[in-house]
Structure 1
């Protein structure tokens, strides 16, 4: 997996070095932080500064004897009604994600990261063409989840923002568009894409997070996941958008 695997540097504090390394590789691990959700907002402000546009509510994930979490980019489309006012709690084009380990699992739970731009650029030509040229329903498998809009979210796995920033998406919710005349072809290419991602995931180097560590990811460029674990594992997760998003 030369050229596509990412093992993030471990740095002691958010500052110029962390910012530069994040820009170079798309991922960094910040150490020595209190295992508290406030650390996520502090890291976001220190790394991204005045480019921050919107922080979405942090979420705490607890898993007991958890299975593998496959390679993915964080994104979701949730708008809720609070007192009669629509409030966005997640966004399909979140461009950074911060994951803080609070409670390490007694065994397992190591992390892995992939440079999705480099990975998809190395795929066979017809699969690359599909990812960049075919619209899919990005959250079709998740239809019916409360808060998820009923209108399909149509997009491509590889797209560009209006300022030219590349987005390489990866989620387990993608389906062919409703009544797409090429449905069979689209479904077969999505399955082939899953197979390619699975092969890459199996050989990626693993790295371990410790309590308080924050894994910071360029969510447009890097996919991440973790291995199965025994016992309890707790993380805080926060996604956000900068002025370069969307």
Structure 2
């Protein structure tokens, strides 16, 4: 899809996000301070958690493939566990602070429709098989030692569907079906690569904020030359 571009102050922005899962907000200052402002404008009293914003600068960056923004990071501050990221962040905001001289166009996919279009065996695997969602990242500092078991497609208590996409998924430890799980994960990667090549690209202007329903939409960007900077914020709402 190519998300609609709307003023952050336009009530239609909230409607577009709910309808399609993605929207580009315009008219806010080119500053990371605009991320919590945009979150409040879109979600109001349903906003529950804002996670620390992060700045990403890449120089001559390679392609960032289709993914959903979520991670499971807990750190200890003054002896108290503090969650810095959540495995089920339900929205992500990406503010383009500095555009690359060449390349870096964005692309977005409705992941619900994509998974439903796959063959029966792969769809059954994604909806019915538990995996370790971050098993390939087991040595990452801050990542809990307990495996995060879950399925690629699940539902929240409020009925929202989650369609996950992460390059960290692996078979659960000592899963007797580990070989089959590994083969199906590889097939899934192949299908994602295939559809990624067909997606329409769109550009962001500096200061634009791309907002995504992180349960429904995956996103990525093309390779670029030169320097490119974005500010990113993930959050959770009532429905998460």
TM above 0.5? yes
Match status 1:184 vs 2:184: no
1:66 aligns to what? 61
Q: Given the superposition, is the C-alpha separation of residues 187 and 14 from structure 1 closer, same or farther in structure 2, using an over 3 Å criterion?
A: farther
Say which SS state the counterpart of residue 119 (structure 1) adopts. Answer: helix
Gaps of 5+ in 1: 1-5
Q: Deviations over 1:31-59 (max 9, x none)?
A: 12211111000000000000001000000
Q: Would the aligned equivalents of 2:55 and 2:232 in 1 still touch at CA under 8 Å?
A: yes
Q: Would the aligned equivalents of 1:15 and 1:47 in 2 still touch at CA under 8 Å?
A: no
2:12 aligns to what? 17
Match status 1:28 vs 2:7: no
**Aligned residue runs from structure 1 range 86-235, under 5 A:** 86-235=81-230
1:53 aligns to what? 48
Q: CA deviation at 1:86?
A: 0.7
Q: Please give the TM-score of this superposition, normalised by the length of structure 2.
A: 0.99
Gaps of 5+ in 2: none
Q: CA deviation at 1:14?
A: 3.6
Say which SS state the counterpart of residue 165 (structure 2) adopts. Answer: coil
Q: Please give the TM-score of this superposition, normalised by the length of structure 1.
A: 0.97
Q: Would the aligned equivalents of 1:15 and 1:46 in 2 still touch at CA under 8 Å?
A: no
Within 2, Cα distance between the matches of 1:141 and 1:86? 23
Say which SS state the counterpart of residue 211 (structure 2) adopts. Answer: strand
Q: CA deviation at 1:15?
A: 3.4
Give the superposed CA RMSD. Answer: 0.6
Q: Deviations over 1:105-143 (max 9, x none)?
A: 000000000000000011101111000000000001111
> How many pairs does the alignment contain?
240
Say which SS state the counterpart of residue 33 (structure 2) adopts. Answer: helix
Say which SS state the counterpart of residue 37 (structure 1) adopts. Answer: coil
1:3 aligns to what? none
